[in-house]
């Protein structure tokens, strides 16, 4: 399997196998901490080959720099089936999140796994907006 896209973005959608992304980002500059980000999406596009057909478990864990989950980890099953005359198949996944709360500034990551093996880690940094001096 191959991770083709793994990103945080403002929004994402799967339209009949086409993954549409809007506003990919890796930094949030917050006016204060704790910070709440109103809406974002995790967008994934994963390629599977013929020998990888079958049932797999996809895991998503959003963690702080100490490795603690900031939201409950998500796990879902997927059944990969590749039509007879195809060489590979791609699968899109979109997870929408609202009111995501960050208790501290620092480094975070969205760790993606399939069958317990990490296939991607999406970095995110939370920064506090510096006050202008008068």
134 is a domain residue: no
CA distance 63 to 124: 10
23 is a domain residue: yes
101 is a domain residue: yes
* Domain CATH number, residue 62: 2.60.40.2550
Other beta carbons within 10 Å of 85: 5
Reading the chain (134 residues) residue by residue, the pLDDT tens digits are: 999 999 999 999 999 999 999 999 999 999 999 999 999 999 999 999 999 999 999 999 999 999 999 999 999 999 999 988 999 999 999 999 999 999 999 999 999 999 999 999 999 999 998 877 66
76 is a domain residue: yes
CA distance 132 to 72: 37
pTM for this predicted structure: 0.90
């Amino acid at each position: 399997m191959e991770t083709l896209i793994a990103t945080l973005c403002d929004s994402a959608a799967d339209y009949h196998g086409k993954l549409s992304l809007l506003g990919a980002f890796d930094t949030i500059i917050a006016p204060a901490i704790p910070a709440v980000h109103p809406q974002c999406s995790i967008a994934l596009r994963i390629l599977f080959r013929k020998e990888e057909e079958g049932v797999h478990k996809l895991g998503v864990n959003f963690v702080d720099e100490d490795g603690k989950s900031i939201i409950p980890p998500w796990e879902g099953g997927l059944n990969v089936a590749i039509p007879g005359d195809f060489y590979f198949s791609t699968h899109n996944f979109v997870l929408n999140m609202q009111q995501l709360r960050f208790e501290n500034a620092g480094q975070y990551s969205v760790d993606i796994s399939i069958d317990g093996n990490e296939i991607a880690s999406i970095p995110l940094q939370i920064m506090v907006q510096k006050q202008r001096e008068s």
